[in-house]
Amino acid sequence: MEGKKIRKGEKTKHSVIEKTALLLNRQGYLTTSLAEITNVTGLQKGGLYNHFKDKEELMVESFKYCCALIDERIKLALESETTSINKLIAFVKLYCGLDFPGGCPIANAAVEASSASTSLFQHAQEAMNQLLNILEKIIITGISKKEIQPHIDPEETALFILSSAEGALLMLKLFPTNSSITVIKDQLIRYINDDLKFTDNT
């Protein structure tokens, strides 16, 4: 019986996170009211706090869920490519094409939590570092395989690519009908092909 209770509790907790994640990302991790959360989950305050210590924990778990969805998309996009250059291009195309309700969860959490929620802000930093690490590893592998120019700095290049892609998402959020995200995406792809790709003349 105890095992069944635990499994049922975990299932309910996951369902709450699933239902809350996109709501918080769209409306704000800190500004979404508890009433809105109870409305979308169908649980009252007491029911929520049976599964989460407080709203902060629910916010963090919901944020992590959004990041896990993005990580899965990135993993699938990269797995289908065989060269480091193509992996970088696939990353740029996917990231600039993110259609998450409310925009990029990492950027949203970072802006909201920078002065109000230390825990959520730290998780946003960790999520961004994980993305930077993915890019850095691709670049390091590319250099070792002579697919990327040897003088390229992996850390600086990863930072440039990711910050540019994040900027593209911000522009899309500010100007939904503007073509700026396409401009930035195309510029990044040209940069990868023209400035990073190893050639015999390097």
Residue ranges of domains in the chain: 2-196
34-48, 120-134, 152-166: least confident range: 34-48
178 conformational bin, left if phi > 0, alpha if psi -120 to 50, beta if neither: beta
2-11, 42-51, 103-112: least confident range: 2-11
pLDDT in tens, 62-79: 999 999 999 999 999 999
As a whole number of angstroms, the longest Cα–Cα distance in the chain is: 69
CB atoms near residue 113 (< 10 Å): 23
% of the chain residues with pLDDT over 70: 95
Instruction: Give the CATH fold of the 2-196 domain.
Output: Tetracycline Repressor; domain 2 (1.10.357)
Output the CA–CA distances (angstroms, integers) from residue 107 to 41, 56, 114, 123, in the order listed. 25, 18, 10, 11
pLDDT in tens, 122-154: 999 999 999 999 999 999 999 999 999 999 999
Distance CA 141, CA 68 (A): 24
Enter the pTM of the model.
0.88
